[in-house]
């Protein structure tokens, strides 16, 4: 098996297992809205149900639309990621990691929606009462990290092309 596919499968499985394991613990050991302080005034573990996308986007959309959209869109995204993975070089580890993290995160949230009809969120980041960030989970972290890695890869590639284009 090509090394990029091994990396992809490993990162997807690792992300999925960490995500599903943490969600299972929160879902079975916490009451909805229950919160445990991890770092005073900064980080709590708080059980929240998310029927929408990031930041609750689409949570007020009609239920039938949400169910269809959130069950089909991740499958389309995964198919697109697999097509992209085939096209990138095995040596481009940054893009392989980026796609792997995004795929693992998409799969983790998709599985939760399939099982519960919602996503379990629990990472509650805030700063005292001045700043509150919407609750999120391991899959969300993986998607954001993957997106940031992809941006870095694009910047790297753009800078590399600019350097190659300069004549000395």
Q: Is residue 161 part of a domain?
A: no
Higher pLDDT, 36 or 67: 36
Q: Is residue 163 part of a domain?
A: no
Taking each helix axis from N to C terminus, what angle separates 93-116 and 3-29, rounded to the nearest 10 degrees? 30
Give how far the C-alpha of residue 67 lies from the chain's centroid of Cα atoms, to the nearest Å: 19
pLDDT at 163: 56
Q: Is residue 129 part of a domain?
A: yes
pLDDT at 161 over 80: no
Instruction: Report how far residue 46's alpha carbon sits from residue 3's, in angstroms, rounded to the nearest whole number.
Output: 38
Instruction: Report how far residue 57's alpha carbon sits from residue 151's, in angstroms, rounded to the nearest whole number.
Output: 23
- pLDDT tens-digit map of 99-112: 999 999 999 999 99
Neighbours of 124 (CB within 10 A): 21
- pLDDT tens-digit map of 123-160: 999 998 889 888 999 999 999 999 999 999 999 988 76
Which structural domain range is residue 64 located in? 3-29+37-156
Greatest extent of the chain over all pairs of C-alpha atoms, in Å: 65
pLDDT at 33 over 50: yes
Q: Which residues are catalytic?
A: 121, 140
Judged on CB neighbours under 10 Å (0-12, 13-18, 19+), 127 is exposed
DSSP string, 16-27: HHHHHHHHHHHH
Q: Is residue 165 part of a domain?
A: no
pLDDT at 39: 96
Q: Is residue 15 part of a domain?
A: yes
The β-bridge partners of 61 are: none
Q: Is residue 152 part of a domain?
A: yes
How many domains would you assign to the chain? 1
């Amino acid at each position: 098996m090509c090394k990029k596919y091994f990396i992809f499968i490993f990162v997807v499985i690792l992300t999925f297992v960490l995500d599903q394991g943490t969600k299972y613990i929160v879902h079975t050991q916490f009451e909805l809205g229950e919160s445990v302080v991890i770092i005073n005034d900064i980080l709590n573990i708080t059980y929240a149900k998310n029927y929408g996308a990031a930041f609750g986007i689409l949570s007020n959309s009609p239920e039938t639309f949400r169910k269809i959209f959130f069950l089909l869109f991740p499958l389309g995204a995964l198919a697109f990621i697999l097509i992209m993975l085939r096209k990138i070089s095995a040596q481009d580890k940054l893009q392989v990691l980026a796609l792997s993290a995004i795929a693992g995160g998409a799969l983790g949230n998709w599985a939760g929606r399939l099982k519960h009809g919602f996503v379990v969120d629990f990472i509650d980041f805030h700063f005292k009462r001045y700043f509150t960030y919407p609750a999120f989970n391991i899959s969300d972290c993986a998607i954001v990290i993957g997106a940031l890695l992809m941006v870095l890869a694009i910047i790297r590639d753009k800078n590399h092309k600019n350097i190659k284009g300069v004549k000395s």
